[in-house]
Structure 1
Amino acid sequence: MRDQIDLKKSVPHQQTGSREENLLDDPLQSLKEGTGAEHDEAHERRIAWWREARLGLFIHWGPYALPAGEWDGQEIQASYSEHIMLRARVPVQAYEEMSEQFNPTAFDAGRWVRTAKQAGLKYIIFTAKHHDGFAMYDSHISDYSIVRHTAFGRDPLKELEEACREEGMVLGIYYSHAMDWHDPDSQGNTWDYPGNIGAYDDVESWIKDEDKRTRFDHYLHRKSLPQVRELLTEYGKVGLMWFDCGGKLTREQGELFLTTVHALQQDCLVNSRVWKSPLGDYANTSDNQLETRTIRQDWENIITLNDSWGYKKSDTNWKPPVSIIRQIIDVVSKGGNLVINVGPTATGEWDPVSEEILLEVGEWLRVHGDSIYGSGASPTARPSWGRCTLKDQTLYLHIFDIPADGHLVVPGLLSQVERVYPLAGGAELAFKRLGNQDLVVLLDNEHLSSDGKPIVLAAKCSGPVKGNSERLLMNGKGAPQIYDLGVFESEISGSTLRYDTGKKNRDNLLDWTDEREYTVWNVRTTGPCTFAVRLEYGCGDEGGGSYLLKASGQTLSAEVQLTGGPYEFRGFELGKLHFPEAGEYSIELQADRITGAYLMQPRKLLLEQVNV
């Protein structure tokens, strides 16, 4: 299949299968992003509500909800149902005929918005036009819309805009500006229009092709930009415009969309996929990226409740509410926003499981929302038991795993603490200092969770919260502690070595082809301690070599072992590391020799305390 061939050329070490979608979600070229030029007064005014909101709802809805992942009686092998036209190579005429049958008579904008509010979500992003080119609003630029092409005849976006205004919800609009499989001059559809730019073609492949460049530019000015203008002039105040696949544009074309939005609504936010970072008011992660890093001061993570974005009837791989809650906490603890997607059915209803998950998340937020809304990253270290968020002078302790001894060590908290109390109510907790950098909160059975959801404690400080962000390795007695140091916590040095997408089973380093490159974890110890070290990585037949792990004047070395594939991860013992005294240290993973196409794909270091 042509798509798979292109994928192998583009991503030589990654598995193929259903991974083609990765090439359409504009992952950042590198997660080594700077803050960008985003501190001007206009930006600060636009972004203020968004930083307070922290949580949004994505709604992927269109005629693709009718086939719901199947075409001609067969399930199409693609994670995302909204890509069915591309993946099944559905002719324009056949897709038009299918779209005529789209008649979502059960659609109720008010119910959608009220449910989003119950779920604790503060803004909605609605797909006004996805890659299939079908407008989910009353477009005057194209008759290919739900109002003019179907018997439904209503404007869902207008009804959502009115419902959002009534309920005090911020409305955002998704618009696929670079990709339109219905249009003969756009990108992606090469089965109806063989001369088009391919779905996986990069800009360099067509920018010097006069025919492709001219026709694509014609599409942008004939349809894409005019539809953006009508969205920003016909639907009231728009909180944000969410563009997609902007990496398939030139920077100049991306900037044209950015300036168009701000000229029409100067307070409307624009995401980085208008082109790619550093453009836009905030950066996006990849789609369904579960392992994240702080990629810019303002950034947003987007996830689905199952695997697909649009409704797919065979997709029952639901994420449990506790996983969604943990993702919320993790993202906010790094200063980001989280947008959670729902894909309504062809009738205009939400899948009951989607609604149930969201409402359960909302119940947790009603009690613990103070630790999320308006909160952000903490200057303290990431604890082994969970995450910390910060708002004003309060540090919120989100406990995923209760320490066996009931002693909750808050690492790197330098400020004086006045009191510690549970957000769910109950008596204040006792606490004490552990040296001059750490705090110990004494837990009891009263504060244990019975449903597996994170417990949240508030640590009220007497002044601004100051901290040490180095990961803490304890030298405690008793049961050995195991510290999990993922590579997304490490800092890369080099130009080719990079973080993978962060999606499920993609939380590793990629493209380790230069022996001079390395990655480092910065840690702190409270006293002398020794750890047995294990490195978890994947390596296929094309990889190989040897590597070094250095810390505190010690060097551990090992040969790379084949694991069965670059994404077949296994752990390998390296030996022991000893830290002689309390202090800060660097643990550096280096290449020694690279004998294959790449060294390996490391995923994490596991340090198990050895009592000596």
Structure 2
Amino acid sequence: MRDQMDLKHVQPGPHGRSREENLLDDPLQALKEDPGTLPDEAHEQRIAWWREARLGLFIHWGPYALPAGEWNGEEIQASYSEHIMLRARIPVQEYEEMAERFNPTAFDAGHWVRTAKRAGLKYIIFTAKHHDGFAMYDSKVSDYSIVKHTPFGRDPLRELEEACRVEGIVLGIYYSHAMDWHDPDSQGNTWDYPDNIGAYDEVGSWIQDESKRTRFEHYLHRKSLPQVRELLTEYGKVGLMWFDCGGKLTREQGELFFNTVHALQQQCLVNSRVWKSPLGDYANTSDNQLETWTIRQDWENIITLNDSWGYKKSDSSWKRPVSIIRQMIDVVSKNGNLVINVGPTATGEWDPVSEEILLEVGEWLNINGDSIYGAGASPTAKPSWGRCTLKGQTLYLHLFDVPADRQVVVPGLLSRVKRVYPLAGGADLAFKRLGNEDLIVLLDDRRLPADGKPVVLAVEYAGPVTGNPVRLLHSGDGEAETYELSVFDSEINGSTLRYDTGKKNRDNLLDWIHEQDYAFWRIRTSGPCSFVASLDYGCGDEGGGSIRLEASGHPLLSDVHPTGGAYEFQPFELGVLYFPEAGEYRLELHAERITGTYLMQPRKLLLKPLHAAI
């Protein structure tokens, strides 16, 4: 995984983003431009189990669990503990001496795999070698391993492979192929090896340097590729190889790894970070990306239970089970997979909080798993109350928020409904049509869970499910909520305007520096209606100008107001939008003029029905 460097080593960008965040942790821009090639038959065969599984477990474990985020008695200011060697600039010899004390005698592969199974997770991705270069398996290529370098002397990957086979869990292997801070010819370690390629150097900065290029190629063929080969020949059937930092390779180097994997195990999947999309059997989001969009047909979102991937003793920023469940649903509703990470301790145990969170997620899946496993995107529109997933001829309604009038409007549903019922059990629910394109499900007076976990309703159909994907703004008598139109749901046009990373507090548009650039949403109304429109955005001292929000020929103009920073978001009311009749519209957000180095960074458009705003 990737992290931000200490600020003293970083030159921030004009909008507050650090240089290396843009370089190493923003792989999606190319994906939006190049959706990849059409899948072939071999790809369809090897991806089938993955589409059914939908949920996986990441395990980040290595000698970095010993310092657990601290070095020489001080906490290292880095989100990710597995980056401690880089962030604290620990010499190879000192890191080796620390790793010699790694003795996780409480490690129990069977318990790990059984816990993952109870949590409803269908595949496991284990870190065979992270950027520190330490092999967490019995490598014949290098003695720098848990088997030969520590008193533990056992092969945890071998034991996990056996436990996964017993429990019916697919084994995946993480391998850092581009980055190795222990190796004198690889990338990243410039404190021991000053002539190395730097951790944040772009390919273009070294590809013409014969010494750096030659030594890096030597590392790839001497250590990286041979270790990949032994992982794929010594550990049985491997479901997927998960590579990292592939953007630091040339395309030819990435293709070499991709082809090597398929030559050894044709059914083994390879993620896009082997280089970057369109290479790979499926695409990856950024690390811990909370706001996601559909990248291509097969894609994967990866999150931690707190902030760090490896175990960090001071990291108590735990995500709530309900938040993880909601993200899981959101990802599957966009045809993606979700992988949840745990970072075991130096003793080989999981933090009790990690286990508790995962098992609570598993309890929800025991009841509602039919709406996740093998499910995918729905042809209907994104609803205001939650998300929809589809499997076969059943549409699953995931209620994040229950409407006050207990009438659930299912937008853009064209197919004939047979029945609607709670997935957790209970009597069928009544429903009725709202025009030709929408459905209303009438919730009865049964009490709903107070823990905030989504309620799931199953809607069965007589035939294939068809729908209209355009977002519905419905202002019926019982609807008083404010509609939120995220910029990640918008389409953007322009030479520089783009989506931010989607991470926490990074769910905005970025680089609005040209007046001709714009964003728009496609929306639909069920009848004449009016909304009070507000725009939530951030604007620092260098931003400024004016904006125009336009729909049905009625523009709303507003000056951009400073918010104290590009990532200090505030909502500002723009005026009233009126839609004269039922139909489809485009909501367009334009730059009327730009007076600063950028306009502002919009996050979401808020539309409150006028009758509710009075």
Q: What TM-score, normalized by structure 2, do the two folds share?
A: 0.97
Describe the superposition over 1:508-540 as per-residue Cα deviations: whole angstroms up to 9, x where unpaired.
001111211111100000000001110010011
1:450, distance to aligned residue in structure 2 (A): 2.7
1:34, distance to aligned residue in structure 2 (A): 4.7
1:8 aligns with 2:39: no
Matched to 2:15, the amino acid is H
Q: How does 1:156-167 map to 2 (within 5 A)?
A: 156-167=156-167
Which residue does 2:338 correspond to in 1? 338
Q: 1:25 to 1:153 in 2, by over 3 A?
A: farther
Which residue does 1:153 correspond to in 2? 153
For the Cα contact (< 8 Å) 1:291–1:502, is it kept in 2?
A: yes
Describe the superposition over 1:267-309 as per-residue Cα deviations: whole angstroms up to 9, x where unpaired.
1000000000100000000000010000110000000000000
1:219 aligns with 2:212: no
Q: 1:138 to 1:24 in 2, by over 3 A?
A: farther
Which residue does 1:456 correspond to in 2? 456
Unaligned runs of 5+ in 1: none
1:14, distance to aligned residue in structure 2 (A): 2.6
Q: How does 1:193-272 map to 2 (within 5 A)?
A: 193-272=193-272
Q: How does 1:402-413 map to 2 (within 5 A)?
A: 402-413=402-413
1:441 and 1:195 map into 2 onto residues whose CA distance is 66
1:551 and 1:173 map into 2 onto residues whose CA distance is 50
Which residue does 1:96 correspond to in 2? 96
1:26, distance to aligned residue in structure 2 (A): 5.2
Matched to 2:554, the amino acid is Q
Describe the superposition over 1:11-50 as per-residue Cα deviations: whole angstroms up to 9, x where unpaired.
432345xx96675445323452554114210100010000
For the Cα contact (< 8 Å) 2:5–2:78, is it kept in 1?
A: no
Which residue does 1:72 correspond to in 2? 72
Matched to 1:528, the amino acid is P
Q: How does 1:288-307 map to 2 (within 5 A)?
A: 288-307=288-307
1:322, distance to aligned residue in structure 2 (A): 0.5
1:418 and 1:28 map into 2 onto residues whose CA distance is 40
1:466 aligns with 2:504: no
SS of aligned partner of 1:440 = strand
1:184 aligns with 2:213: no
1:30 and 1:211 map into 2 onto residues whose CA distance is 29
1:541, distance to aligned residue in structure 2 (A): 1.0
For the Cα contact (< 8 Å) 1:541–1:562, is it kept in 2?
A: yes
1:597, distance to aligned residue in structure 2 (A): 1.7
1:494, distance to aligned residue in structure 2 (A): 1.8
Matched to 1:244, the amino acid is D
Describe the superposition over 1:385-439 as per-residue Cα deviations: whole angstroms up to 9, x where unpaired.
0000000000000001010001000000100000000110000000001101000
1:593, distance to aligned residue in structure 2 (A): 1.5
1:217, distance to aligned residue in structure 2 (A): 0.8
Q: 1:23 to 1:63 in 2, by over 3 A?
A: farther
1:7, distance to aligned residue in structure 2 (A): 3.9
Q: 1:478 to 1:2 in 2, by over 3 A?
A: closer
1:258 and 1:425 map into 2 onto residues whose CA distance is 46
Q: 1:461 to 1:47 in 2, by over 3 A?
A: same
Q: 1:22 to 1:77 in 2, by over 3 A?
A: farther
Q: How does 1:237-386 map to 2 (within 5 A)?
A: 237-386=237-386
Describe the superposition over 1:218-271 as per-residue Cα deviations: whole angstroms up to 9, x where unpaired.
111111111000000000000000000000001111001000000000010000
SS of aligned partner of 1:475 = coil
SS of aligned partner of 1:556 = strand
Which residue does 2:571 correspond to in 1? 571
Which residue does 1:423 correspond to in 2? 423
SS of aligned partner of 2:11 = helix
For the Cα contact (< 8 Å) 2:55–2:122, is it kept in 1?
A: yes
For the Cα contact (< 8 Å) 2:404–2:478, is it kept in 1?
A: no
1:188 and 1:522 map into 2 onto residues whose CA distance is 45
1:5, distance to aligned residue in structure 2 (A): 6.2
1:573, distance to aligned residue in structure 2 (A): 0.8
SS of aligned partner of 2:32 = coil
2:38 and 2:206 map into 1 onto residues whose CA distance is 31
For the Cα contact (< 8 Å) 1:25–1:244, is it kept in 2?
A: no
Matched to 1:8, the amino acid is Q
Runs of 4+ in 1 over 6 A off after TM superposition: none
Identical aligned residues as a percent: 79
SS of aligned partner of 1:361 = helix
Matched to 2:39, the amino acid is H
User: How many pairs does the alignment contain?
Assistant: 609
Which residue does 1:387 correspond to in 2? 387
2:459 and 2:494 map into 1 onto residues whose CA distance is 39
For the Cα contact (< 8 Å) 2:128–2:136, is it kept in 1?
A: yes
Q: 1:394 to 1:502 in 2, by over 3 A?
A: same
1:51, distance to aligned residue in structure 2 (A): 0.1
1:2, distance to aligned residue in structure 2 (A): 8.3
Describe the superposition over 1:92-117 as per-residue Cα deviations: whole angstroms up to 9, x where unpaired.
01000000000000000011000000
Which residue does 1:504 correspond to in 2? 504
Describe the superposition over 1:361-399 as per-residue Cα deviations: whole angstroms up to 9, x where unpaired.
000001000000000000001110000000000000000
Which residue does 1:44 correspond to in 2? 44
Describe the superposition over 1:440-473 as per-residue Cα deviations: whole angstroms up to 9, x where unpaired.
0000231522322100000001110000111110
Q: 1:171 to 1:154 in 2, by over 3 A?
A: same
Matched to 1:60, the amino acid is H
Unaligned runs of 5+ in 2: none
1:180 and 1:305 map into 2 onto residues whose CA distance is 26
For the Cα contact (< 8 Å) 1:33–1:295, is it kept in 2?
A: no
Which residue does 2:172 correspond to in 1? 172
Which residue does 2:544 correspond to in 1? 544
Which residue does 2:491 correspond to in 1? 491
Which residue does 2:585 correspond to in 1? 585
2:406 and 2:421 map into 1 onto residues whose CA distance is 15
1:181 and 1:26 map into 2 onto residues whose CA distance is 22
1:270 and 1:316 map into 2 onto residues whose CA distance is 32
For the Cα contact (< 8 Å) 1:423–1:458, is it kept in 2?
A: yes
SS of aligned partner of 1:596 = coil
1:546, distance to aligned residue in structure 2 (A): 1.5
For the Cα contact (< 8 Å) 1:34–1:295, is it kept in 2?
A: no
For the Cα contact (< 8 Å) 2:57–2:123, is it kept in 1?
A: yes
1:168 and 1:418 map into 2 onto residues whose CA distance is 35
Matched to 1:547, the amino acid is I
